[in-house]
Chains A and B, each alone.
Chain A
Amino acid sequence: MAKKVEFMQGNEAAAHGAIYAGCTFFAGYPITPSTEVAEVCSIELPKIGGKFIQMEDEIGAMSACLGASLTGAKVLTSTSGPGLSLKQEIIGYGCIAEIPCVIFNVMRGGPSTGMPTGPSQSDVMCAKWGTHGDHPAICLTPASVQETYEEVIRAFNLSEKYRTPVMVMPDEIIAHMRERIVFPEPGEIEVISRKAPTVPPEQYKPYDTQFGDVPPLAAFGSGYKFHVTGLNKMQDGFPTTKAEIVQAEEERQVRKVEANRADIMKWEEYKVDDAEIVVVAFGSTSRSARYAVNIAREQGIKAGLFRLITFWPFPEERLLEISKKVKAFISPEMNLGMCAGVLKGCIEGNAPVLGIFRVDGEPINPDQIVDKMKEVK
């Protein structure tokens, strides 16, 4: 049977991807340019017995998601810049209490209200450092409607597997662009659900490290009674200020992601093998970059594209390797150098990083990138 093909928007694809991944709960608050995710969820989730709720604010939406996740549901919220800022405290709660959830954040101009209908890529640092304190960060940056669908599924899988909030961050262009999408058959893409406890309720501890860095999470109402708090906690979930426990637990929360970087990181290399100039890009900017690489190659410039699909954890090791062989990196991005800064931090000065930074609400076009390549000596 032929696969289902549709012409669809990135935001709509996100909602459908979530449902494929097993999402049964959405809580959100209207915000441009991500509202279509909420709209599609409001139509589709009740059809499968799922729940949609429009909360009174962004903080409430994030909170309701975590409450629902604790009952065993896979949960999604969607937002954009100002909403992401508001959600941050509760995202931190999700990190410390280790509650799976997916946050779909469409990047628009900022800070503050900024340019609600203009594209941007300026939330990527907020994905890592937005909430206070040390915490794990996983952030995925899809570059097409198809990839948005698939990365939302992967976000759910990672969130469930590592018991932590995961962000998917398309820029506004990807979120509002309509293009062809081919839907996978049920079962075609792996769907992962959180580990349930195997011990009887009286022995259960929600942060029991005898089961590894990602302890099983019971559901409220499934026979297991346990305590969840945003305070630093012991293995049984109750608060502690004991120095050695706090240190060990904080390190474990970060380690469960950092030690599994290889499983979480995802990128695409396009003509990188013999490249002298490598463009590091993500989201819609990577599409301009691919086009620019093709133009450059026609003109005899040995250019390549390194496309980040996982932004956090950042693929430091591979970029360090590449940096030893290239003349320069180019970092085109719709912000004032966030990715360039991270890149510089991991390549030990092996190659210069030339930036193309736009925050005027206009996309970066291929010619700009080719022109920048020509500046490389």
Chain B
Amino acid sequence: MAFDYEKYLRPGKLPHIWCPGCGHGIVMKGIIRAMDTLKMDMKNTAIVSGIGCASRLPGYIDCCTLHTAHGRAAAFATGVKMAKPEMNVILCGGDGDGTAIGGNHFIHACRRNIDMTYIIMNNYIYGMTGGQFSPATPTGHMASTTPYGNPDPCFDIAKLAIGAGATFVARGTAFHANQIDKLIVEAIQHKGFSVVEILDDCPTTYGRRNKYKSVIEMMKRLKEVAVPVKAAEKMTAEQLHGKILTGVLYKEEAKPEYTAEYAKVIERAKASRK
């Protein structure tokens, strides 16, 4: 029997705003399948986003949804989780929202290791505003504000998350649709701040400028560059050149989770009163 996505979607909110060929819908379906696998209590689940195409995702899913200001998803979400640690808190958004204007909140959420899952849809571009380069746009690539090629070096978002202290970091792609929900399930189950970067495509504002003739070509590229971490272990540096590792890239269990640590602060504070 086909998977019933509708029971997780808000009635009357489709069609979504995304362009034909955009991978965000694939990611949304992955999130929904993950929620179903985990039998998540939707009344106690919040999805928090910033601004941009990817940040419109929460509006379609039937739970507590918070479409915040540009870059601020992690900070709003930290407030939700701190105030009500029993809630499941999922963040989503794009590469520009999360790593440029929201970069500070992102790295500090990683550092705190607060128990939330951040799904970053990395399509290498600011799509909603018409295709300006983001911190994830590869050097030399074309965007509406890099008419002579992008001079900026780019972030490796997963490495940024690991470096900042996130305790679960995974990467998938919009092409590998069946892997997305599995990565998200593992991320949500992880106690701590988990980051799932999904390499995505924006045919409208990125693909056209960068000589991708079709969505299929963009998807083929995702298929070709992705190398599962396990497979990469057996490959030479030469073979790995230009490839992008996918799967669970980092996992750490020892680092304390933030709301649990704060619960101890409350215990100590209450004890100090006696």
Mask: chain A, 46-77; 1 = CB below 8 Å from B; 0 = not: 11010101011101110111111111110100
- Interface size on B, as a range, is 35 or more
Q: B238-267 vs A: 1/0 string, CB under 8 Å?
A: 000000000000000000000000100110
Number of A-B contacts (CB under 8 A): 140
With A47-B270, A220-B64, A229-B67 as contacts: A63 and B83 at CB distance below 8 Å? no
**Which residues of A are found within 8 Å of B78, using beta-carbon distances?**
53, 55, 60, 63-64, 67
A227, CB-defined interface residue at 8 Å: yes
**A47 to nearest B CB, angstroms?**
5
Cβ–Cβ < 8 Å partners of A68 in chain B: 79-80, 82-83
List, in ascending order, chain B residues with CB within 8 A of A56's CB.
75, 104-105, 107-108
A-facing mask of B54-93, CB < 8 A → 1, else 0? 0000110011111111001011111111111011000000
| Complex Cα spacing A340 to B3, Å | 66
* A230 and B83 contact, Cβ closer than 8 Å, known pairs A55-B75, A59-B72, A225-B62: no
Residue of B nearest to A55 (CB): B75
* 205-220 of chain A: CB within 8 A of chain B: 220
Residue pair B76, A66 in contact (C-beta under 8 Å): yes
Cα–Cα distance between A53 and B259 once the two chains are bound (Å): 11
B79 touches A63 (CB 8 A): yes
Given contacts A227-B58, A228-B66, A238-B59, is CB(A51)–CB(B262) below 8 Å? yes
Asked if A249 lies at the interface with its beta carbon under 8 angstroms from chain B, I say no
For A43, the closest partner residue in chain B by CB is B269
Report the separation of the CA atoms of residues A66 and B77 in the bound assembly, to the nearest whole angstrom: 9
Q: Of residues 173 to 188 in B, which have CB atoms within 8 Å of A's CB atoms?
A: none
Contacting A57 at CB < 8 Å: which of B42, B46, B62, B104?
B104
Q: Does A187 contact B (CB under 8 A)?
A: no
Could you tell me if B84 and A220 are in contact, using CB atoms closer than 8 angstroms? yes
Tally A residues with Cβ within 8 Å of B. Answer: 44
Contact of B199 with A by CB under 8 A = no
Q: What CA separation (Å) do A73 and B44 show in the bound complex?
A: 16
- State the CA gap A123–B44 with chains docked (Å): 39
B272 within 8 A of A: yes
Report if B39 contacts A (CB, 8 A).
Answer: no
Least distance between A76 CB and chain B CB atoms (Å): 12
A59 touches B75 (CB 8 A): yes
B binding-site residues for A, Cβ under 8 Å:
10, 13, 42-44, 46, 48, 58-59, 62-69, 72, 74-84, 86-87, 104-105, 107-108, 262, 265-266, 268-270, 272-273
Q: Which residues of A contact B (CB under 8 A)?
A: 24-25, 27, 43, 46-47, 49, 51, 53, 55-57, 59-61, 63-73, 75, 89-90, 93, 201, 220-221, 223-231, 238-239
Given contacts A60-B75, A89-B69, 4 further A-B contacts (CB under 8 A): A51-B82, A59-B75, A73-B83, A227-B10
